[in-house]
Amino acid sequence: MPAPAARPTRAHLRLLQDLTEAIGVSGAEGPVRAIVRKQVEPHADTVKVDALGNLLVNRRGAGRVRLRVMVSAHMDEVGMMVVSVSSEGLLKFEAVGSIDDRQLLGKPVWVGADRLPGFIGAKPIHLMSDDETEQTVKVESMSIDIGSGSKTAAEAKVKPGDRATFATRFRRLGPSVMAKALDDRLGVATLIELVQNPPDGIELLAAFTVQEEVGLRGARAAAFSLDPQAALALDCTPANDLPSWDGEENIAYNTRLGNGPAIYAADGRSLAHPGLLEHFIHTAESQGLAFQIRQPGGGATDAGVIHVARSGIPSLSLSTPARYPHSAAGIASLSDWRDTARLAHAALSTLTERTLRRS
């Protein structure tokens, strides 16, 4: 099959828009799953949804199948969950997944399956004391205002357990895109493309997973049932590449925007399989594709649970960098995303059992 396009097409951008504007907070990934299903069904050999909600797709590439390879991308995003409705009709909520409280205040949101517009209100600055302007407001003291006016009116539209997310429209910004949920709809878009245009010589076991942001839960079950010979997790990782506030050299950038897809050597939950790591680096170098090694440290992807499934599965993580993840909007470079798809496709097309062997 031909290599994925180096430049984003209109169809690419439309898909990224649909995926990032869909609401898929952990445990309620239905709207994202519906988009993915529509995209992959015409190309897939089999499609099924497992008990947790993972969408599992089989797609055989051209030629003799050398390996069964699981490639995962998580459909869920961080967001909010309504926990109660106050007597004034305001929605008390908690965060789903890790969100810095400071990212929540003063943000418009969409609530529930009907995408009700709402706003996480804050005290007007006109009325604040000097002390108050210095304080951090905790999520426990915040509410979503849907303008309903009363408890009864609010309860007619919203119930505890409903998810909410940042109301952010997708935008293209020259060579970049700005959107919510780039973590991990960029990975989902890459994986859709791999199903539509599968790498030669492998049986692609595409796992569009759930509940990654709350503890890598979907991927654990998917890896057990797919029982692959190797795995690749496609995710989105922070680019904290802006200058330090104090002018010191920034030595903890994690990744840098525009420097290509990030290959993982080590994160908080997995060490890259040495053979896969070398294979991806070698592929990028020989194909002239940009890449960077993500700074080793904490954090995790689906690979954290996939690689310890059953008797162990050689695994690697590959991320597209984005600035400001787990907030109302992130910014990612389109060339980094295209190079992620190109690197994944090229490396999987040439993957053999030899790469996975231990001495």
Task: List residues near other proteins by CB under 8 A.
Answer: 249, 251-252, 263, 265-266, 269-272, 274, 277, 293, 295-297, 307-314, 356, 358-359
Supply the minimum distance, in Å, between the C-beta of residue 348 and other proteins. Answer: 18
Positive/negative CA dihedral, 218, 223, 226, 230? positive
C-beta separation of 210 from 30 below 8 A:
no
**Minimum Å distance from CB 203 to other proteins?**
18
Distance CA 281, CA 262 (A): 10
**Best CA proximity match to 53, nearest among 192, 233, 223, 209:** 209
Q: In the numeric block, which tokens belong to residue 232?
A: 């690749």
Tell the smallest beta-carbon distance from residue 307 to other proteins (Å): 7
> Is residue 212 flagged as an active site residue?
yes
Please report how close the Cβ of residue 138 comes to other proteins at its closest, in angstroms.
28
CB of 356 to other proteins, least distance (A): 7
What is the smallest separation between the CB atom of 331 and other proteins, expressed in angstroms? 23
Torsion over CA of 196, 202, 203 and 209, rounded to 10 degrees? -70
Residue (143 or 237) nearer to other proteins, CB = 237
CB of 69 to other proteins, least distance (A): 13
Return the structure tokens found at 117: 């517009």
- Alpha carbons 313 and 219: distance in angstroms, whole number: 13
Is 45 in contact with 52 (CB distance < 8 Å)? no
Report d(CA 160, CA 337) in Å as an integer. Answer: 37
State which residue, 126 or 245, has the beta carbon closest to other proteins: 245
- State the catalytic residue, choosing from 212, 249, 285, 353: 212
Residue 253 near residue 259, CB atoms below 8 Å? no
Nearer residue to other proteins within complex by CB, 208 or 253: 253
Residue 131 or 249 having the CB closest to other proteins: 249
What are the structure tokens assigned to 313, written together? 């599965």
**Single-letter amino acid, residue 43:** H
* Alpha-carbon gap, residue 320 to 206, rounded angstroms: 18
Nearest to 183 by CA among 213, 162, 220: 213
Q: Of the candidates 226, 206, 221, which has an alpha carbon nearest to the alpha carbon of residue 44?
A: 206
Token pair for 256:
């840098």
Q: Which is nearer to other proteins, 154 or 313 (CB)?
A: 313
Measured CA angle at 300 (ends 57, 97), to 5 deg? 85
User: Of the two residues 39 and 317, which places its CB atom closer to other proteins in the complex?
Assistant: 317
Report the alpha-carbon distance of residue 101 to residue 122 in Å, rounded: 13
Pick between residue 143 and residue 292 the one whose CB is nearest to other proteins: 292
Residue numbers annotated as active site: 212
